[in-house]
Homo-oligomer: A and B are copies of this chain.
Amino acid sequence: MVYEPAPPHLTLLARNPKKSYDFSMYPLSSRMENAKPSFVREILKVANRKDIISFAGGLPDPSLFDLEGIKEATQTALSKAPQAALQYGPTDGYIGFKEQVAKVMQTRDVPSLNLEQMLITTGSQQGIDLISKIMLDPNDVVLVERPAYLAAVQVFELYQANLMGIEQDANGIQIEDVERAILECKKAGKRPKFLYTVSTFGNPSGSTLTLDRRQALLEIAVREQLLIVEDDPYSELRFAGENIPPLYALTKDVAGSSEYVVYMSTLSKFVAPGLRLGWMLVPSGLMQPLTIVKQAADLHSSSFAQYVAAAYLETGRLEAQLPKIRAKYGEKGQAMIRALEQTIPKGILEFNAPSGGMFLWVKMAEGVDTMQLSSKAIEQNVIFVPGVGFFPDTKRTNYLRLSFATPSIEQIEEGVKRFARAVLD
């Protein structure tokens, strides 16, 4: 995003999205009429200023990268199969990496899986794009969480979908609201193409769908032939409470439901985002269309990265690394909550303490505009993401997202002081 000199993100947000470009010179496609740069990434530009403390990004703490292990894995990959690691590979991914992903999935209650129903992607972001490409025509309905992951919303909007929000609480999306949305669609003669959910440690909500709701959702999926796209980037980052199996793992308990869950995950949050490696686990009927659009998109994801990642996962070092990662994010999350409680009087902010992930989702009083608060915060040299962008189908101005993943504990404490000054100003 170096195209233009970093604009203050507020300017960008204030822009009329319909006028993002000059269409007079180039006859762009109609999907670009509403396209705008992700405002999170625009805020991240400000984040590069040395004096800024950022609660905005979802970047993993780089001190948690297992550098030694990855260096070693790189050597192994380039010694064992150098030519294959540097050559073109199969569209659906390198089998050796797939096998390692299957082992990761064992720790997520998926004891075995069919590697022919796994597609390796360039991060799970690409999974969102590919499933949209095979499913969405303009005006198709996609059900999303309220609030929803911003970069997914961006993709769905590029496919000119109609987004319909499902209310969410600390226990994830509300099942009765899923029913309500489906009914509304039926009345309009529509069938939702899929429901997209970050089921565990949601972004931005931090909330996790309960086991009961998971089962209920799978039953709805079967009954309504509703495809569920489960995005699961954060489940390795649990620092409190008990694991809850992903929807994908629970399909074994609900007859027929395995045909209706597409699962996506990534190495980005617990190995390294720079590898840009994710995976999709898909019903057999969707594998061929997905492989076709993947091939058209980039032939396949980096063989080099896949061989290195496979070699890394083979070392078993991750087992020792994960507890460190979880402990660190747990500490940071607690530090942020403690600092907020110490600096801001009760009743001004409302949030649930997350059991994992990277985010604290904060509600303020009705009428508060967190976009305006963001400007004040930037004056105090601290940034966060105003909530408005996470609500594609409603306008809620009084939410904001704080990430505790990237800054150090000292920075969290100092950043919260600055944030408090902006809030209490």
Chain A residues within 8 Å of B, Cβ to Cβ: 1-4, 20-22, 25-32, 35-38, 41, 57, 59-60, 62-63, 65, 67, 70-71, 74-75, 78, 82-92, 95, 115-116, 121-123, 125-126, 129, 133-137, 140, 151, 154-155, 158-159, 191, 193, 225, 227, 259, 268, 272-276, 284-289, 291-293, 295-305, 307-308
Contact = CB atoms under 8 A, between A and B. Distances in A.
- Central interface residue in A25, A225, A297, by most chain B CB within 10 Å: A297
Copies in the complex: 2
Contact of A116 (B2, B74, B297, B305): B2
A36 B291 CA distance: 10
A295 to B, nearest CB: 6
B25 A259 contact: yes
Contacts of A225: 25
A80 B57 CA distance: 24
Contact of A288 (B4, B135, B268): B4
Contacts of A136: 29
Given A78-B67, A296-B154, A304 B191 contact: no
A70 B62 contact: no
A113 to B, nearest CB: 14
A343 to B, nearest CB: 29
B82 A295 contact: no
- Majority DSSP secondary structure for residues of A touching B: helix
A274 B89 contact: yes
Given A37-B291, A288-B21, A302-B122, A90 B276 contact: no
A35 B293 contact: yes
Contacts of A275: 86, 302, 304
A308 B82 CA distance: 14
A68 B67 CA distance: 21
Contact of A274 (B38, B88, B291, B295): B88
Contacts of A259: 25
A92 B287 CA distance: 30
A267 to B, nearest CB: 10
Nearest to A88: B273
16 contacts: A2-B95, A22-B285, A25-B285, A28-B135, A38-B292, A57-B88, A59-B87, A60-B87, A65-B82, A67-B82, A133-B158, A154-B296, A158-B292, A275-B302, A275-B304, A276-B298
A95 B85 CA distance: 25
B82 A298 contact: no
B88 A59 contact: yes
A308 B95 CA distance: 23
